[in-house]
């Protein structure tokens, strides 16, 4: 397929240039290959040089290769072509030449090289990389696999951006590329680490997870890059329920501990004990890492705790938002999960929640558009002073892990409660598990350095959503199974669709409704993928109804018969709301939804899930008993007053022998 090249020494006068691209031998020869039939080659080849020798023809094309930096070291700008083209050509990279300021590339198959397959184009621009089609990218990846990888981060980003083309490659080129990355001596350990995490971000099965965490903890990443990688791995765990919880927790804890130790080296000196005489027994500090809007679930959870402490315990409350997203250095990570900050609360020192509630408030890093380490010191120092002046009895850290809270916990009591039913990821202080503590919880916390006597058992209760109490009309001839999610593109997959199709097989009256939205809101991408999944794989496409986000979810539930919680990490809030309206709930024994419903009411197999729907459809008495269970359990789930009083008492009981002041416990 490739023409032969023989050694001979050329002189400058042997070079003949043709400016017209049409109708001569070189282009006719190259057009045999599909890559050269495409418009990008034809349009971008400004001229073609035909170099004639006495004994054979040598053909060169003026071009810019995909990855110019790989070839930069081989450019010989000061050399004549007869000096460049010599017997020292033992590497395929030497098939790229520079002559009189022009970059030439020769394609051949001879004893000097091995089928360099790369599309020629003037792709200096990053945008050109991003616009590669599937065929172009596969040719590019084939080249990388055979001769080496891409060295520079902006090109690594582009490579990973297009790696989707290789995920469906039957020749396993992606697996070959992984091996190539590890063996490439031109890549630093840092490059390999970044690429490895990239691959994990795309498809977990492609790479050894233990190795990912080892690389993330290596010295090639600084504190702020490690925090970025940590949050990407957390986000991946939340969206990929194939990951085993206890092993993932252990790996994440090792990485988090590594981050904490680096942070303590830098900022630990800024923290100090608060004078025991200053503590106010009626004050509580609530710490959160994000504060976006009152509709943002973790933000709302922190606000609800503040309201409950004020209403049911009479405490004075302060909220401290550490704005952890400001202390992150992003890496070029494909499909990364963004961590947002809001500037709306930058200058607030009082937060008015509603007409009846307001709290003291501090948001870190609000005055900085780009925060560097020098500013971190001043902001942390300011926060420590504000906390010291407020002098709370204890701090409740709500939601995700927080370095500031762990540093503070060395000097005052800090309890950490996550927004899920998992054990919290923390280093110091008191972990709160919002469900019955299991033996395996005790073991994994013990393995991560947290003793059993520090664990606090609690529960999660929910705030009743606002509703107009409308009872929506419902077709009596339909049996409606509803699924609720704000990330359908991640949580509704082929396996869930198969289960829903089995629901539809039970009876022609079964309808599947969807309330919610998608993570990917760009040009309806998420919705379009959702429809494509159903249209291409379901036998009952006419019985799937997407109704979008519901502002009044309780009223919307009145038009449904059963709530189905697909296998996912979340779902707790929507399960509780469905139970509040008396809907029977069907749930896998997995994730937050299972703890909200009650693990003894959940199912291990898909077959059991399908049989449960069938039983609810056919047995009216069983349906009614399931409805009554939901209503009864909802009474407990929405009894916030009892929960907050018990939580406060349990925290004070745990810390009473650890602090330097007296705490009254009823």
CA separation for the pair 215, 435 (Å, rounded):
34
Token pair 């990688």 is found at: 229
- Please say if the pLDDT value at position 406 is more than 60: yes
Question: Cα 87 vs. chain centroid, distance in angstroms?
Answer: 51
pLDDT top residue among 443 and 179? 443
* Per-residue tokens: 317: 């409350």
Give residue 203's pLDDT. 52
CA separation for the pair 145, 493 (Å, rounded):
32
pLDDT more than 70, % of the chain: 62
Q: How confident is the model at residue 166 (pLDDT cuts 50, 70, 90)?
A: low
For range 97-104, the mean pLDDT = 40
- 539 Cβ contact partners less than 8 Å away, ≥ 6 residues apart: 501, 504
Query: Which tens digits make up the pLDDT trace of 386-399?
Result: 999 999 999 999 98
* Per-residue tokens: 176: 């070959």
Tell whether the torsion through CA atoms of 555, 560, 562 and 564 is positive or negative.
Answer: negative
Query: Which tens digits make up the pLDDT trace of 331-375?
Result: 655 456 666 667 778 788 899 999 999 999 999 876 555 557 788
- Please say if the pLDDT value at position 90 is more than 80: no
For range 503-520, the mean pLDDT = 93
* Per-residue tokens: 38: 């495409």
Q: Which has the minimum average pLDDT: 141-155, 221-235, 254-268? A: 141-155
Contact 51, 2 (CB under 8 A): no
Contact 198, 156 (CB under 8 A): yes
Query: Which tens digits make up the pLDDT trace of 433-481?
Result: 988 888 888 988 888 888 999 999 988 888 888 888 888 888 999 999 9
* Per-residue tokens: 496: 């869930």
**Would you list the DSSP string of 472-498?**
----TT-EEEEEEES-HHHH--HHHHH
Token pair 């009309």 is found at: 473
Give residue 489's pLDDT. 85
Mean pLDDT for the chain overall: 73
- In 3-state terms, what secondary structure has residue 100? coil
Q: How confident is the model at residue 604 (pLDDT cuts 50, 70, 90)?
A: very high
Give residue 188's pLDDT. 61
Query: Which tens digits make up the pLDDT trace of 532-564?
Result: 999 999 999 999 999 999 999 999 999 999 999
Q: In what order do the strands lie in the sheet with 96-99?
A: 15-18, 48-52, 57-62, 102-105, 96-99
pLDDT top residue among 82 and 223? 223
Q: In what order do the strands lie in the sheet with 562-565?
A: 544-548, 510-516, 479-485, 562-565, 585-587
Q: How confident is the model at residue 143 (pLDDT cuts 50, 70, 90)?
A: low
- Please, which residues bridge with residue 565 across strands? 587
> What are the chain's domains?
12-105 (no CATH), 267-457 (3.40.50), 479-638 (3.40.50.2000)
Report the phi/psi class of residue 571: left, alpha or beta, with left for phi > 0 and alpha for psi in -120 to 50.
Answer: left
CA separation for the pair 101, 27 (Å, rounded):
23
Pairing state of beta strands 358-363 and 350-352? antiparallel
Question: Cα 432 vs. chain centroid, distance in angstroms?
Answer: 25
For range 11-39, the mean pLDDT = 32
Of the candidates 308, 273, 277, 284, the one whose C-alpha atom is nearest the C-alpha of residue 390 is: 284
Of the candidates 43, 9, 48, the one whose C-alpha atom is nearest the C-alpha of residue 27 is: 48
Identify the helix (H) or strand (E) that includes residue 548. strand 544-548
Give residue 474's pLDDT. 86
Query: Which tens digits make up the pLDDT trace of 483-503?
Result: 999 889 888 999 999 999 999
Residue 336, exposed/middle/buried by CB under 10 A (0-12, 13-18, 19+)?
middle
Token pair 């997870």 is found at: 209
pLDDT more than 90, % of the chain: 38
User: Could you tell me how many residues make up the chain?
Assistant: 666
For range 128-153, the mean pLDDT = 54
Give residue 34's pLDDT. 27
CA separation for the pair 545, 474 (Å, rounded):
14
Q: How confident is the model at residue 22 (pLDDT cuts 50, 70, 90)?
A: very low
CA separation for the pair 436, 421 (Å, rounded):
10
- Please say if the pLDDT value at position 521 is more than 70: no
Largest pairwise CA distance in the chain: 104
What pTM was computed for the model? Answer: 0.68
CA count, 13 A, side-chain hemisphere, 654? 24
Give residue 468's pLDDT. 83
Of the candidates 430, 418, 410, the one whose C-alpha atom is nearest the C-alpha of residue 651 is: 430
- In 3-state terms, what secondary structure has residue 658? coil
Give residue 369's pLDDT. 52
pLDDT top residue among 211 and 458? 458
**Opening angle at CA 48, ends 43 and 51, nearest 5:** 165
pLDDT top residue among 428 and 87? 428
């Amino acid at each position: 397929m490739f023409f032969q090249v023989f050694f001979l020494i050329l002189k400058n006068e042997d070079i003949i240039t043709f400016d017209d691209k049409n109708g001569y031998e070189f282009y006719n020869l190259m057009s045999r290959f599909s890559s050269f039939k495409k418009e990008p080659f034809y349009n971008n080849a400004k001229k073609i040089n035909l170099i004639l020798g006495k004994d054979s023809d040598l053909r060169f094309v003026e071009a810019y290769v995909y990855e110019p930096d790989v070839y930069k070291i081989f450019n010989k700008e000061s050399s004549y072509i007869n000096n460049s083209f010599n017997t020292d050509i033992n590497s395929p990279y030497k098939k790229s030449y520079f002559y009189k300021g022009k970059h030439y590339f020769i394609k051949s198959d001879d004893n000097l090289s091995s089928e360099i397959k790369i599309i020629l184009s003037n792709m200096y621009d990053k945008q050109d990389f991003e616009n590669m089609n599937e065929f172009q990218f596969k040719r590019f990846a084939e080249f990388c696999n055979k001769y080496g990888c891409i060295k520079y981060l902006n090109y690594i980003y582009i490579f990973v951006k297009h790696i989707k083309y290789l995920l469906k490659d039957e020749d396993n080129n992606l697996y070959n590329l992984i091996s190539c990355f590890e063996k490439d001596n031109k890549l630093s350990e840092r490059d390999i680490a970044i690429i490895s995490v990239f691959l994990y971000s795309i498809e977990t099965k492609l790479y050894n997870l233990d190795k990912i965490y080892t690389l993330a903890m290596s010295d090639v990443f600084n504190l702020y890059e490690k925090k970025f990688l940590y949050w990407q791995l957390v986000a991946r765990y939340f969206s990929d329920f194939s990951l085993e919880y206890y092993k993932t927790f252990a790996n994440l804890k090792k990485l988090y501990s590594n981050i904490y130790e680096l942070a303590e080296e830098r900022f630990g000196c800024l923290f100090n004990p608060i004078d025991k005489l200053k503590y106010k027994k009626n004050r509580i500090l609530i710490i959160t890492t994000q504060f976006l809007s009152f509709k943002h679930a973790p933000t709302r959870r922190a606000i609800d705790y503040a309201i409950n402490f004020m209403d049911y315990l009479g405490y004075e409350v302060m909220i401290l938002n550490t704005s952890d997203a400001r202390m992150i250095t992003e890496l070029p990570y494909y499909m990364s999960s963004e961590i947002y900050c809001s500037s709306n609360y930058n200058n607030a020192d009082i937060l008015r929640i509603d007409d009846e509630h307001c709290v003291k408030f501090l948001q870190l890093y609000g005055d900085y558009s780009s925060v560097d380490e020098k500013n971190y010191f001043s902001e942390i120092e300011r926060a420590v002073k504000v906390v010291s002046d407020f002098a709370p009895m204890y701090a409740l850290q709500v939601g995700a892990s927080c370095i500031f809270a762990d540093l503070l916990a060395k000097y005052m009591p800090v309890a950490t409660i996550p927004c899920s039913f998992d054990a919290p990821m923390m280093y110091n202080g008191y972990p709160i598990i919002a469900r019955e503590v299991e033996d395996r919880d005790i073991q994994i916390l013990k393995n991560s350095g947290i003793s059993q006597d520090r664990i606090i058992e609690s529960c999660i209760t929910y705030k009743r959503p606002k509703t107009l109490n409308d009872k929506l009309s419902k077709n009596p001839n339909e049996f409606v199974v509803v699924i609720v999610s704000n990330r359908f593109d991640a949580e509704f997959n082929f396996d869930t669709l198969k289960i829903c199709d089995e629901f539809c097989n039970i009876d022609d009256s079964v309808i599947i409704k969807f309330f919610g939205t998608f993570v990917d809101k760009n040009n309806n991408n998420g919705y379009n993928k959702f429809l494509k999944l159903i249209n291409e794989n379901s036998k009952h496409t006419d019985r799937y109804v997407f109704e979008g986000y519901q502002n009044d979810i309780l009223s919307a539930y009145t038009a449904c018969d059963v709530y189905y919680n697909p296998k996912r990490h979340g779902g707790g809030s929507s399960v509780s709301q469905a139970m509040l309206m008396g809907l029977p709930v069907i749930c896998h024994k997995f994730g937050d939804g299972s703890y909200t419903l009650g693990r003894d009411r959940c199912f291990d197999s898909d077959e059991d899930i399908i049989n449960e729907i069938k039983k609810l459809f056919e047995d009216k008495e069983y349906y009614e008993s399931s409805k009554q269970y939901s209503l009864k359990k909802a009474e407990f789930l929405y009894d916030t007053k009892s929960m907050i009083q018990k939580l406060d008492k349990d925290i004070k009981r745990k810390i009473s022998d650890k602090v330097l002041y007296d705490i009254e416990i009823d």
